[in-house]
């Protein structure tokens, strides 16, 4: 698949706030003593099983709330929720990757370098969640230094999740290093925190924009 026009909107939080919500085996990964929660809207393109021709790929606009974790010292991402438009894509991701995807009505428009993104969850029995805002890159592109906050928040090559019986699972992903830009965001609505049991943030986020990378994911495996 490909990831395009991403906003990484990142808020620092106390580590205990994240640790209390993680499954056994995972602990919050910290930068300067703080855990982080990130809202990431973007567009998936050319989504398809490995080995199939590009003509079989489809687009999947997506919005997720994630944090940064370690498992036996190995860094990765843990997703609290992923909202996407398209029942087939959502069902497929739930079954094949054991990820907490929710069906949503999503609109994304890119014009003159600015991205307008809105999402409203439509998934039966799931907590309501809405997001609406615009974002755009500002400033020059850069490749984040390995020890920087930008690299901590973006250069992640594994995600963790849980299976039907609560067992810890993971998948590895591969892609080129990110080229990022500082970003500005105007948030109209964001209830992802409340939908996932967190207090809404009171501070402004640290924001980066990524034009995109191409992704290959391994199969989802038991840890």
- Average pLDDT, integer, range 170-196: 97
For the ranges 44-58, 101-115, 154-168, the lowest mean pLDDT is seen at 44-58
Segment among 49-63, 155-169, 191-205 with least mean pLDDT = 49-63
pLDDT tier, 59 (very low <50, low <70, confident <90, very high otherwise): confident
The Cβ of residue 10 has, within 10 Å, a number of other Cβ atoms equal to: 24
pLDDT for position 166: 87
d(CA 221, CA 153) in angstroms, rounded, equals: 24
Structural domain that includes position 158 = 2-222
Half-sphere exposure of 4 (CA within 13 A, CB side): 16
Average pLDDT, the chain: 92
Q: In this predicted structure, which of 6-10, 48-52, 110-114, 200-204 has the lowest mean pLDDT?
A: 48-52
Residue range 12-22, pLDDT digits in tens: 999 999 999 99
Phi-psi region of 202 (alpha: psi -120 to 50; beta: other; left: phi over 0): alpha
Q: By CB neighbour count within 10 A (0-12 exposed, 13-18 middle, 19+ buried), where does 90 fall?
A: buried
**Minimum mean pLDDT range among 76-90, 149-163, 179-193:** 76-90
Measured over the CA atoms of residue 123, residue 40, residue 179 and residue 27, the dihedral's sign is negative
Counting the structural domains of the chain, the total is 1
pTM: 0.92
In 59-171, alpha helices (H)? 87-97, 149-154
Q: What angle do CA 130, 96, 92 make, to 5 degrees?
A: 55
Q: What percent of the chain has pLDDT over 70?
A: 90
pLDDT value for 73: 95
Residue 86: the pLDDT is 72
CATH of the domain at 85: 2.40.400.10
139-149: buried (b, 16+ CB within 10 Å) or exposed (e) per residue? eeeeebeeeeb
pLDDT at 184 over 60: yes
Pairing of strands 158-162, 74-84: parallel
Kindly report, residue by residue over 40-58, the tens digit of the pLDDT: 999 988 665 767 666 666 6
């Amino acid at each position: 698949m490909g990831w395009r026009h991403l906003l990484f909107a990142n808020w620092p939080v106390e580590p205990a706030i994240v640790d209390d919500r993680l499954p056994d085996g995972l602990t919050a990964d910290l930068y300067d003593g703080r855990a982080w929660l990130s809202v990431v809207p973007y567009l998936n393109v050319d989504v398809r099983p490995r080995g199939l021709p590009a003509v079989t790929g489809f687009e999947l606009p997506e919005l997720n709330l994630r944090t940064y974790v370690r498992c036996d010292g190995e860094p990765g991402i843990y997703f609290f929720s992923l909202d996407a438009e398209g029942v087939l894509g959502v069902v497929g991701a739930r079954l094949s990757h054991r990820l907490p995807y929710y069906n949503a009505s999503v609109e994304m428009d890119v014009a003159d370098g600015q991205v307008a993104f809105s999402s409203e969850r439509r998934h039966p029995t799931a907590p309501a969640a809405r997001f609406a805002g615009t974002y755009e890159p500002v400033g020059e592109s850069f490749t984040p230094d390995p020890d920087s906050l930008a690299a901590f928040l973006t250069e992640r090559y594994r995600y963790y999740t849980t299976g039907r019986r609560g067992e810890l699972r993971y998948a590895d992903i591969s892609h080129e290093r990110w080229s990022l830009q500082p970003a500005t965001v105007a948030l109209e609505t964001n209830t992802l925190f409340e939908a996932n049991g967190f207090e809404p943030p009171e501070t402004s986020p640290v924001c980066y924009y990524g034009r995109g990378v191409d992704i290959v994911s391994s199969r989802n495996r038991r840890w």
